[in-house]
Homo-oligomer: A and B are copies of this chain.
């Protein structure tokens, strides 16, 4: 199925090996499924697309652009599949990749714990200094804690987070007194609601993560007695997608290419936002309502 590979060009074997060095598969969580999902090690790789999620739209973009390889953060087949018939979306995705000769490579929790990795890139984007791990998962540092240049109000910091991350429909949800002061910041890209104990132990004033649901957030806020650590849900896609640009640069360098002017491969970051939310209605309505009625919020 792969074409014959021209002399001097890269194969999937070359590129997968470079990615394995950047994001060693053995550093992924036990439950995770990383590495090659589709493709043949002998197929040539001339175009590489980076995206957070291997959605059908991303795969269409890859095919339309002529990509040979898609590198994503999120696994396509985290749960094992017993069929790739097109009746399911997972099956349609696999079928579309295979029919189009597109390889898929996943770097997930192994990219989370890499350095640079998902959380360190997020911490950098927020300007955190004196960075240290938030927690350890096995032998690997996960999440980051660091310091802002100067104390800010929670409202100011939320604006800064919004400015640092790519814009989304969902925006950035904040729990805590807007006038409260924050200096120490904990971050965990993606879903971080299992790290509240570590956040409290870290002494952080605010925790930036995503996918926060009612009960865990409310319990964390109760445990904080309404004070610090405050919580910011900045969106799963937004907090993780920053990683893509760095990963692209690192891979090109690892392949011996000049990231600014590669010769054997082309690469780009997908233009598809895979945050699932399209629009929001009524955000901040409670405050508006409270302001106009003098009511309790």
Chain A interface residues toward B at CB < 8 A: 1, 33, 35-41, 53, 55-57, 74-75, 77-91, 93-96, 98-99, 103, 155, 158-159, 161-162, 166-178, 190-191, 210-211, 213-215, 217-219, 221-223, 225-226, 231, 233, 236-237, 271-289, 295-297
Contacts and interface: CB of A to CB of B under 8 A. Distances in A.
**In the complex, the 5 A-B pairs of residues with the closest C-beta atoms, listed nearest first:** A80-B80, A171-B283, A167-B285, A214-B236, A89-B222
A270 to B, nearest CB: 9
B280 A275 contact: no
Contact of A37 (B82, B171, B222, B237): B82
State the copy count for this chain.
6
Given A98-B95, A174-B277, A38 B83 contact: yes
Contact of A167 (B38, B82, B93, B286): B286
A172 to B, nearest CB: 5
Which residue among A75, A86, A278 has the maximum number of chain B CB atoms within 10 Å of its CB? A278
A1 B95 contact: yes
A138 to B, nearest CB: 20
A190 B43 CA distance: 39
A287 B169 contact: yes
Contact of A279 (B57, B174, B289, B295): B174
Contacts of A75: 82
Given A40-B85, A41-B87, A213-B191, A281 B218 contact: no
Contacts of A85: 36-41, 103
A170 B214 CA distance: 11
